[in-house]
Structure 1
Amino acid sequence: MPDRIAVIGSNMVDLVTYVNRMPSRGETLEAPDFALGFGGKGANQAVAAARLGAQVSMVTCVGDDIFGPRTRQNLHENRIDVSHVRCVEGAPSGVAPIFVEPDGENAILIVKGANAHLSTADIDTAAGTLKGCDVILLQLEVPLDTVYHAVAFGVRHGVQTILNPAPADPDLDLSRLDGLDWFCPNESELALLSGMPTDTDAAVLAAARSLIGRGIRNVIVTLGGRGARLITAEDVVQIAPIRVDPVDTTGAGDAFIGSFARFLSGGAAPQAALERAARYAAHSITGRGTQSSYADVIEFEAFCHALGGN
């Protein structure tokens, strides 16, 4: 049976504008290109895991506008179980206007829409599915109470649970994450949530260890071009960055987290899972778009072969 992953989180419709430069306040610029795609941190991570062969179920909410049915169809086309995708009457779907510069860097706005309606009751409704999973994967584009409820569910039922605390929310109550298996912030998210600096490797380590002292079991910090760090109470493992020529960095973090969940659920040791996730994320920034840039198993193995190794 394929590895089983439940993603409890958001979906968005990506409105991607490719710009020569970002406009100044009050300025109107002509942009050379535009694309409409599917995103949202939850859906992105679900698609990455599914394209790598995992059996993925999505617990999410869509709006009752024109984007809702198409979002559900997109998940289904990516072989994701949509049994727990709920349409919220009177709510718009989530959208994400994204602006991409020529060097691949981006700026993103998000409108949560129906994602703000994902509730603890949705978790309870999906309980039978969640109990049968190897991994539960969460983000912060849905209400915090829903996140806390899902973490407690995972701890209670012995299901490995991963929280990607993005976008960072200063109201996140770390005391309600006691027993969480994997906490995966980037550098700035770690600084905000720990209340500590992260401007040096030593500072990153201290900030991460402060979270472990509050009951989180493992912290994975992504550091952009400096790779990532796996930090436990006893050890620090450095995950080297993969050098590629970037085309569009949108969704690279989600590619990393979603593929890590897939490799971890498949039985890989954490360091090996993270090293492969770094490769998967690197591949994603060599193409345009978010989910459209995510490789399937064959494409990913060819990329790894070209890099040298697997």
Structure 2
Amino acid sequence: MEDQKRIGRIAVVGSNMVDLITYITRMPAPGETLEAPDFEIGCGGKGANQAVAAAKLGSQVSMVTKVGSDLFGDNTIANFQQFGIDTTHVAKVEGKSSGVAPIFVEESGENSILIVKGANADLLPADVDAAEETLRQADLILMQLEVPLETVRHTVRRAAEWGVPTILNPAPATPELNVGDLRSLSFLVPNESELALLSGMPTDSEDEINAAARSLIAQGIGTVIVTLGGRGARLITADQVTPIEPVRVTPVDTTGAGDAFIGSFAHFFAASGNTEEALKQAARYAAQSVGKRGTQKSYASAEEFVSFCEGLAPSAS
């Protein structure tokens, strides 16, 4: 574990969802009804997941988001507060449902997810401006694409004015995202398919991934971190490519692993300022999360993460 010199301040401008998780043996065919062995409800959403991961590790986290005027909304706010996340800028939208995410998890641990944005669609640039005092004080601002694109674009622009570094996880991917709107972005964290969509270039080989990432860097994005699932990740700058090796574990449920990776990266980077070391720690943190069911409840506390790392074989650490 690296020497954490300070407690980072992280702000998340993004989504929250209620995860409706069904554990299945296989997906039913059209018109077919199958019995599933288990079901759980949990708090999720990419923004909320990333916020919780950073908070559980010890960062000071503030959330800028919208919830519905329903029981799910009240529960989401209480969940943030349980983890010490500042909810000053979590607002209810009257007459709107909260966001929900039906998730289907197969026996292999792989998952399929639908999302209904609900109140997340009402998170607007004016909400970012209203949270300016909080956002200006952050060490990092995290964003995803489960809220309106105009809000993401506005956040990137305002953060550049304030001199606050930014991270965007461009998921779920959309062709409507214009790379030109991300010129001042500090970190872009796509997977291979998202990188291909954003760059308009193939990403089928290592050289193609590098070229696609560098095409985005040439347009003004600072650093690209490509997540590769079981193959780890790749840190790409204008003049260097650094592989981040995967940590081998037996997966139980991969739901939320990408969010665990990004949220923990934000925590470790804000604490140390060392990108490569923060990514190595994030790979361990994400690996730990797939060994348990669920999303946020699978994320380790700082103490649990230390124990997990101590138990890794030397070759994996």
Instruction: Tell me if both proteins adopt one fold, taking TM over 0.5 as the criterion.
Output: yes
Please give the alpha-carbon distance, in whole angstroms, between the structure 1 residues aligned to 2:219 and 2:273.
Answer: 26
Alpha-carbon shift at residue 2 of structure 1 (Å): 2.6
Aligned-partner SS, 1:85: strand
Alpha-carbon shift at residue 223 of structure 1 (Å): 0.6
Matches within 5 A, 1:144-159: 144-159=149-164
Select 1:132's aligned residue among 133, 137, 141: 137
Alpha-carbon shift at residue 193 of structure 1 (Å): 1.3
Question: In the alignment, which residue of structure 1 is the partner of 2:262?
Answer: 257
Tell me which amino acid in the other structure corresponds to 1:228. Answer: A
Is residue 292 of structure 1 aligned with residue 287 of structure 2?
A: no
Question: In the alignment, which residue of structure 1 is the partner of 2:12?
Answer: 7
Please give the alpha-carbon distance, in whole angstroms, between the structure 1 residues aligned to 2:7 and 2:264.
Answer: 14
Is residue 188 of structure 1 aligned with residue 190 of structure 2?
A: no
Question: In the alignment, which residue of structure 1 is the partner of 2:209?
Answer: 204
Please give the alpha-carbon distance, in whole angstroms, between the structure 1 residues aligned to 2:288 and 2:30.
Answer: 34
Runs of 4+ in 1 over 3 A off after TM superposition: none
Deviations 1:197-235 (A, max 9, x none): 111001100110111111101000001111100001100
Please give the alpha-carbon distance, in whole angstroms, between the structure 2 residues aligned to 1:122 and 1:29.
Answer: 43
Is residue 108 of structure 1 aligned with residue 132 of structure 2?
A: no
Select 1:31's aligned residue among 31, 36, 42: 36
Select 2:172's aligned residue among 160, 167, 171: 167
Alpha-carbon shift at residue 153 of structure 1 (Å): 1.3
Tell me which amino acid in the other structure corresponds to 1:248. Answer: D
Select 1:90's aligned residue among 95, 111, 118: 95
Question: In the alignment, which residue of structure 2 is the partner of 1:72?
Answer: 77
Question: In the alignment, which residue of structure 2 is the partner of 1:121?
Answer: 126
Please give the alpha-carbon distance, in whole angstroms, between the structure 1 residues aligned to 2:37 and 2:205.
Answer: 38
Please give the alpha-carbon distance, in whole angstroms, between the structure 2 residues aligned to 1:217 and 1:25.
Answer: 45
Kept in 1, the 8 Å contact 2:7–2:270? The answer is no
Alpha-carbon shift at residue 181 of structure 1 (Å): 0.4
Query: Structure 1 stretches of 5 or more lacking a match?
Result: none
Aligned-partner SS, 2:311: helix
Alpha-carbon shift at residue 173 of structure 1 (Å): 1.1
Deviations 1:80-122 (A, max 9, x none): 0000001001110000000000010000000000000000011
Select 1:44's aligned residue among 45, 49, 54: 49
Identity %: 64
The 10-residue stretch of structure 1 (105-114 or 191-200) with the greater mean CA deviation from structure 2 = 191-200
Tell me which amino acid in the other structure corresponds to 1:290. Answer: T
Question: In the alignment, which residue of structure 2 is the partner of 1:279?
Answer: 284
Please report the TM-score for the alignment, with normalisation by the length of structure 1. 0.99
Aligned-partner SS, 2:224: strand
What's the C-alpha RMSD, in Å, of the aligned pairs?
A: 0.9
Aligned-partner SS, 1:167: coil
Please give the alpha-carbon distance, in whole angstroms, between the structure 2 residues aligned to 1:301 and 1:153.
Answer: 36
Aligned-partner SS, 1:258: helix
Alpha-carbon shift at residue 308 of structure 1 (Å): 4.6
Alpha-carbon shift at residue 268 of structure 1 (Å): 3.9
Alpha-carbon shift at residue 152 of structure 1 (Å): 0.8
Deviations 1:33-59 (A, max 9, x none): 000000000000000000000000000
Please give the alpha-carbon distance, in whole angstroms, between the structure 2 residues aligned to 1:151 and 1:174.
Answer: 12
Alpha-carbon shift at residue 156 of structure 1 (Å): 1.0
Aligned-partner SS, 2:133: helix
Tell me which amino acid in the other structure corresponds to 2:70. Answer: D
Aligned-partner SS, 2:272: coil
Please give the alpha-carbon distance, in whole angstroms, between the structure 2 residues aligned to 1:116 and 1:25.
Answer: 30
Tell me which amino acid in the other structure corresponds to 1:29. Answer: L
Aligned-partner SS, 1:307: coil
Alpha-carbon shift at residue 155 of structure 1 (Å): 1.0
Tell me which amino acid in the other structure corresponds to 2:51. Answer: A
Tell me which amino acid in the other structure corresponds to 2:29. Answer: S
Question: In the alignment, which residue of structure 1 is the partner of 2:253?
Answer: 248
Query: Structure 2 stretches of 5 or more lacking a match?
Result: 1-5
Question: In the alignment, which residue of structure 2 is the partner of 1:99?
Answer: 104
Is residue 223 of structure 1 aligned with residue 231 of structure 2?
A: no
